[in-house]
Amino acid sequence: MEILKEISGRRSWRALSEAALPEGAARRIVQAGILAPSCYNNQPWRITAAEGETLLSLKDTLSEGNAWATRAPLIIAVAVRECDDCRLEDGREYALFDAGLCAMNMITQATAESLVAHPIAGYNPKKAKAALGLPKDLVLIALIVVAHRGDPNSADGGLLKEWQKESETSPRKRKPEEEVAAFGRWSELS
């Protein structure tokens, strides 16, 4: 069995098209997130699919390095309250892990629909939470930028910096397995 193409082919592209998403895509992507596993089925994530005026306000909170994301027709916010999920005695706050599973389900669904789903942390959290109308006790974990893939060589370059354009055309880079994984017992990795 091969690795699923939605996993092996996924990339965090930055060159985006402003074209509208397919009918129902936003709802399907959010539903995929809702279906993620969670500790005791607590489902601690809170998802906001920003569209319309909310999307415009949210785009104003993005860092300069994420100017390319302003082309996206959809940005999905993933937030949690750590107290809404399992809190284990050794200090593990499971809500963060569960939010990551939710995000990955949404990214995988978007990829299956031939869309880009690029998670980012480059935004002003306080302003982003205000734009989204999130309560103060929610932690905004990440934004997922969703769009069709664009052309990095277009007239405006998709609002990309030169290094970002190079990234769009270079091979995907991942650390080798021996640097990040061990089978059996943990060993000192490079």
Percentage, residues of the chain above pLDDT 90: 64
Q: What pLDDT digit, counting tens, does each position of 15-64 carry?
A: 899 999 999 999 999 999 999 999 888 899 999 999 999 999 999 999 99
Give me the pLDDT at residue 190, please.
47
Q: How far apart are the first and last CA of the chain?
A: 29
Nearest in space to 131 (alpha carbons), one of 26, 23, 59 = 59
Q: Which residue has the higher pLDDT, 8 or 190?
A: 8
Average pLDDT value over all residues in the chain: 91
CA–CA dist 97, 101 (Å, integer): 6
The residue ranges of every structural domain in the chain are 9-152
Ramachandran category for residue 12: left, alpha or beta (phi over 0 → left; psi -120 to 50 → alpha) = beta
Least confident of 13-22, 23-32, 79-88, 117-126: 79-88
9-152 to CATH, choices 3.50.50.60, 3.90.1280.10, 1.10.10.10, 3.40.109.10 = 3.40.109.10
